[in-house]
Structure 1
Amino acid sequence: MSGTVFVALFSGINVGGNRIVKMAELRSFFEDLGFSDVATYVQSGNAVFRAKNGDAATLTKQIEAAFEKKWGFHSRIMVRDLGWLERLVAENPYPEVAADHTKLHAYALEREPTSDEIARLAEKCTGRESFEIKRDVLYLHAPGGLGKSVFAGLLPRTLKVPGTARNWRTVLALLEMAGQAGGK
């Protein structure tokens, strides 16, 4: 099967009992759009798929528009190719905490933040957390876990670059799924 393997990261679905999207329906949705090797992971909205043509930006627009039409609400979707996901894992600046998925999160950002935006964020990082940004990925080490992190709550409002976070277990699971799709 030819084509490029992509991962789609949805934000704002299946959170707190709102905007419910069943993963089986999401798989069918991708297949109906003509994608193959579709697989989903956990309820927060992660899909791996293969597309015969189109780049990440084009596919993002296409999937977002079709999603809104089908489910009646907007979900910001980050579409990235397998190479991006491989790079995200390879460039992890916190390998020593990668074994504890609750303490390491990766945010897929819509674009690379400016140095001013990063500086503003650094000013807010006064707790035990630390972060590093590599291109359009923000790595967050939260020793107390994301749920208890004040900084994690401030992050989206402070950075102002749209993004969606995944814990390290999800990142690794998606890489494995994308690798399997890529090996077909």
Structure 2
Amino acid sequence: MTTTYAALLRGINVGGHRKLPMADLRTLMEGLGYGAVRTHLQSGQAVFTTGDGDETSLAATLERAIEGHFGFTVDVIVRDHAYLRAIVDDCPFPAAELEPRQLHVTYYSAPVDAARFADVDQPAHLPEEFRLGDRALYLYAPDGLGRSKLAEQLARPRLTKGLIATARNWNTVLKLAELTSPQP
């Protein structure tokens, strides 16, 4: 059985560093035997199909292939359509009432619990807020991510220690769920 996945690459094509052209990424992934490979934007999203492996092994395979081909390491998280759709459906904020730039999801490589974020003083950051989901953190930043003091605090290494974490804006979250949806 073939499953459609999204690969989320962390920290590529930002500020001229770790340049990874999407056409080259597509070619690399096709060379790994993945089907229906498509990329979205230049910031590291690829959609593909395969009948082999699971999210963890697919991410590890892609990380090794990128390092071998491009000469630098890139953290990768792979998620299937059911997960990506659940992220959209389970959003604790009124996404339809917000501007997409106000809502972000940080995807984690493993589950995170509230204890990890216990010392984050949420009331001090209001009206900004965050909520935890399944291997994800939803962030409401009314003035956008670039001005968010809460986002800055949530990205501190001590809160992400031992995890891969990569954030996407709400438009990209929606697009990934759409791109991975089963095709008729």
**CA separation in 2, counterparts of 1:138 and 1:106?**
6
Amino acid at match of 2:121: E
Instruction: Give, in angstroms, the shift of residue 102 of structure 1.
Output: 0.4
**CA separation in 2, counterparts of 1:115 and 1:146?**
22
Question: Is 1:108–1:136's contact at 8 Å kept on the other side of the alignment?
Answer: yes
Out of 117, 124, 127, the residue aligned to residue 126 of structure 1 is: 124
Out of 171, 175, 178, the residue aligned to residue 176 of structure 1 is: 178
* Aligned-CA RMSD value: 1.6
Q: 1:159 aligns to what? A: 159
Instruction: Give, in angstroms, the shift of residue 151 of structure 1.
Output: 1.6
Amino acid at match of 1:85: L
**CA separation in 2, counterparts of 1:56 and 1:170?**
19
**CA separation in 2, counterparts of 1:40 and 1:26?**
8
**CA separation in 2, counterparts of 1:89 and 1:136?**
13
**CA separation in 2, counterparts of 1:140 and 1:165?**
10
Alignment of 1:14-93 (within 5 A): 14-93=13-92
> 1:126 aligns to what SS in structure 2?
helix
- Over the matched positions of the two proteins, sequence identity in percent amounts to 38
Question: Is 2:113–2:132's contact at 8 Å kept on the other side of the alignment?
Answer: no
Moved more, 7-16 or 152-161: 152-161
> 2:174 aligns to what SS in structure 1?
helix
Instruction: Give, in angstroms, the shift of residue 124 of structure 1.
Output: 5.8
Question: Is 2:106–2:165's contact at 8 Å kept on the other side of the alignment?
Answer: yes
Amino acid at match of 1:71: F
**CA separation in 2, counterparts of 1:83 and 1:175?**
8
Q: 2:5 aligns to what? A: 6
Query: What number of residue pairs does the alignment pair up?
Result: 180
Question: Is 1:156–1:162's contact at 8 Å kept on the other side of the alignment?
Answer: no
> How has the CA–CA distance of structure 1 residues 96 and 43 changed in structure 2, closer, same or farther, with 3 Å as cutoff?
closer
